[in-house]
Amino acid sequence: MLHNRYRSGQPSGENTVVAQTVDLLGNSGHEVDLYARNSDDIAEMGRKDRALLPFRSVWSFSAERDLTQLLQAQRPDVVHVHNTFPLFSPSVLRAAYKLDLPVVATLHNFRLLCANAVLQRDGRPCESCIGRLPIAAVQHGCYRESRVQTLPLATSIGIHNSLHTWQRYVDTFVVPSGFVQERYVAAGFDPDRFVVKPHAVPHPAAVRSGAGDAVVFLGRLEEDKGFADLLQAWDSSLGKLVVVGDGSLRAAAEERARKDLSVQVLGQLPWAAGMDVLRSARVAVVPARSYETFGLVVVEAFAQGVPVVTSRLGALAELVDDGETGALTEPGDPEGLRKAIGLVADPETSIAFGERARQVYLDRFTPERDVLATERIYTDAIARHADSGRPRRGLWAGRAARV
């Protein structure tokens, strides 16, 4: 399993998912070798290496060489690739291909299509580069608001999509939602190579009892997360609003809390403490204005038996069944958001919706189901690789896999 970890200073759902997958597979009897690099190491690089990094993120011969040596020594049944940016690059795919190894790639975001990886510009959804050369990305400086820093990313996207690098070397693509698959298919990827596997959430220590006593927002306090819409929509008649997280709108939230005693801002909390707050919720609110590839907070709320009000946007609309496990609202509509919160926050409604949400978690998002789904993906990828016309190196079936 290969993953370029994101910087430790920025919370990363991908880092969490990869670590969780390694643990789950290991605890299920499989042998997993995690080959990881850390973006934190960039700060320790010499000036020359940092200057060359944008070019190496397009194609790194050293990363290909290093992985080739590792794979020759380990001879895994399957190579599972997660994030390759910026220290690996797509060159690692060719390393596995040359050794005739099946490759599975989890696409956690839109990095292969979009310079900022989230299909977003100016806090709103943007699909200008889907199926096209990413010229617009450079024009708008979509990565870190810099044309200079965007250029190598746009170059990589243009080159590898033109050469079909990922489609040539990857047997199976794994995505967390049907929405992500649709965007990649719209860009020209083969729909038959995709498997939708939502992320799992660990079993909570406890489940909500009763209707809860607060409306909870847990996430980044940013406009693209819809937090400004929530502040505009909030009315003390809805009860108590508890805010967990940090971001550029935290000062506005704290100012609101000073004037309105129904608002409480807790700031950033450790994960376990955040889950304790979520468990006390009457309803969790995820009012995003930009696309989400999954919606981990939604499933974390479901695990606790808490219903969710969220935007009818991207993958979020796949998770919440309107009128059953919560409510869907149009993004950027504070009035609609206020009405939806009021509806789901009714105690009887909250209890009924929460019970259904809990059952959805048990049916779809538990660690046990995640392991079974991952095993099926590996088995199918090995079979797909064998049927591709290339010599079959070996079959994993009925035994523990080596990843």
User: Residues of the chain with pLDDT > 90: what percent?
Assistant: 90
Measured in Å, how far apart are the chain's first and last C-alpha atoms?
6
- For 123: left if phi > 0, alpha if psi spans -120 to 50, otherwise beta; the answer is left
pTM of the prediction?
Answer: 0.91
Find the mean pLDDT for residues 138-145: 94
Q: How confident is the model at residue 402 (pLDDT cuts 50, 70, 90)?
A: low
Q: How confident is the model at residue 388, as a pLDDT?
A: 82
Q: How confident is the model at residue 393 (pLDDT cuts 50, 70, 90)?
A: very low
- For 122: left if phi > 0, alpha if psi spans -120 to 50, otherwise beta; the answer is left
Domains 2-106+164-200+369-386 and 214-364 belong to one CATH topology: yes
Domain ranges in the chain?
2-106+164-200+369-386, 214-364
CATH code of domain 214-364: 3.40.50.2000
Question: Pick from 138, 289, 373: which is nearest to 381 by CA?
Answer: 373
Q: How confident is the model at residue 136, as a pLDDT?
A: 96
CA-based radius of gyration for the chain: 22
**CA 323 to CA 340: how far, in whole Å?**
10
Q: How confident is the model at residue 12 (pLDDT cuts 50, 70, 90)?
A: confident
Question: Pick from 149, 154, 198, 192: which is nearest to 173 by CA?
Answer: 192
Angle at 11 between CA 8 and CA 12, to 5 degrees: 95
Question: Pick from 218, 237, 192, 203: which is nearest to 387 by CA?
Answer: 192
In 117-262 the beta strands, taken as DSSP E runs, fall at 120-121, 124-125, 172-175, 194-196, 214-218, 241-244
Q: How confident is the model at residue 390, as a pLDDT?
A: 57
Q: Token digits for 345?
A: 């926050």
DSSP letters, 243-309, are EE--STTHHHHHHHHHH-TTEEEEES--HHHHHHHHHTEEEEEE--SS--SS-HHHHHHHHHT--EE
Q: How confident is the model at residue 8, as a pLDDT?
A: 78
**CA 210 to CA 29: how far, in whole Å?**
39
pLDDT at 13 over 90: no
Determine which helix (DSSP H) or strand (DSSP E) holds 37, and give its type and residue range. strand 35-38
pLDDT at 394 over 70: no
Q: What is the pLDDT of residues 113-139, one digit of tens each?
A: 999 999 999 888 999 999 999 999 999
Q: What is the mean pLDDT of the chain?
A: 94
**Strand duo 241-244 + 214-218: pairing:** parallel
Q: How confident is the model at residue 232, as a pLDDT?
A: 97
Q: How confident is the model at residue 122, as a pLDDT?
A: 87
Find the mean pLDDT for residues 98-104: 97
Q: How confident is the model at residue 9, as a pLDDT?
A: 66
Q: Which of 43-47, 207-211, 349-353 has the lowest mean pLDDT?
A: 43-47
Name 267's bridge partners: 244
pLDDT higher for 49 or 173? 173
Task: Tell me which architecture the domain covering 2-106+164-200+369-386 has in CATH.
Answer: 3-Layer(aba) Sandwich (3.40)
Report the sign of the C-alpha dihedral through residues 97, 80, 196, 122, in that order. negative
Q: What is the pLDDT of residues 154-198, one digit of tens each?
A: 999 999 999 999 999 999 999 999 999 999 999 999 999 999 999
pLDDT at 324 over 80: yes
Q: How confident is the model at residue 401, as a pLDDT?
A: 63
Q: Token digits for 242?
A: 């508890």
Q: What is the pLDDT of residues 202-246, one digit of tens each?
A: 999 899 999 999 999 999 999 999 999 999 999 999 999 999 999
